[in-house]
């Protein structure tokens, strides 16, 4: 015999509809974290992503977002660890399409820590995965400049400008590298 609730709906159906899984709660935390991030409330975003990571410890997206949130909070070592964790987790084909963001974010954190060689290596991996983004070449140029590799910086900045001629960072990095090489005419052109 069926058991019915107050409104005539089977009690088991109501219990099933009300059961919220940790997956659902984790997704809700990700969404809250993304909203806080968009509002530039980076401390709040970090807390939300940390809660989500506890609920969904094998979700690639959470660790990518954690990496960005740690970065925005000036916690660069933890940012690198989060990006590395995201890369180490099992990926769907969809997730793999975003791996360049992990490498790009890791490079930015490494550069903030003065690790320009590591930053350049990470940015090169981001470029391998998504070679059509001019900002990545501009960042690579910056990391090469930070490491005193001016010829490489010039090459990367020129590639960025081939992809988008109006990139201010690309122009800056190109001029900086030319100045360091004492090629002042090229720097001002």
What are the residue boundaries of the structural domains of the chain, listed by start? 21-102
Q: How far is CA 6 from CA 2, 11, 12, in A?
A: 13, 9, 13
pLDDT digits (tens, 9 = 90+) for 1-34: 444 444 444 444 444 444 467 778 888 899 999 9
Q: Structure pTM? A: 0.83
Flag the least confident range among 16-30, 70-84, 163-177: 16-30
pLDDT digits (tens, 9 = 90+) for 124-139: 999 999 999 999 999 9
CATH number belonging to domain 21-102: 1.25.40.10
pLDDT at 13: 45
- pLDDT for residue 91 is more than 90: no
pLDDT digits (tens, 9 = 90+) for 35-66: 999 999 999 999 999 999 999 999 999 999 99
Residue with tokens 């992990």: 102
Residue with tokens 């769907």: 92
Residue with tokens 């964790």: 85
Q: Determine contact, residues 48/26, Cβ cutoff 8 Å.
A: no
Average pLDDT over residues 68-74: 98
Rg of the Cα trace of the chain?
Answer: 23
Which residues lie below 8 Å from residue 66, measured CB to CB, with a gap of 6+? Answer: 46, 49, 50, 53, 78, 79, 82, 85, 86
pLDDT at 164: 86
Distance of CA 151 to the CA centre of its chain: 27
């Amino acid at each position: 015999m069926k058991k019915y609730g107050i409104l005539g709906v089977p009690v088991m159906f109501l219990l099933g509809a009300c059961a919220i899984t940790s997956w659902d709660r984790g997704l809700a935390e990700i969404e809250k974290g993304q909203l806080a991030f968009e509002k530039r409330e980076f401390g709040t975003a970090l807390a939300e992503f940390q809660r989500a990571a506890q609920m969904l410890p094998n979700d690639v997206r959470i660790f990518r977002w954690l990496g960005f949130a740690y970065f925005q909070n000036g916690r660069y070592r933890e940012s690198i660890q989060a990006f590395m964790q995201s890369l180490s987790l099992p990926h769907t084909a969809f997730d793999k399409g975003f791996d360049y963001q992990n490498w790009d974010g890791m490079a930015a954190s490494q550069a903030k820590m003065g690790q320009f060689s590591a930053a350049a290596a990470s940015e090169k991996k981001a470029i391998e995965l998504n070679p059509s983004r001019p900002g990545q070449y501009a960042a690579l140029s910056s990391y090469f400049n930070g490491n005193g590799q001016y010829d490489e910086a010039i090459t990367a900045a020129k590639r960025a400008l081939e992809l988008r001629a109006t990139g201010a960072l690309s122009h800056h990095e190109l001029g900086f590298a030319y100045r360091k090489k004492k090629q002042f005419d090229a720097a001002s052109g």
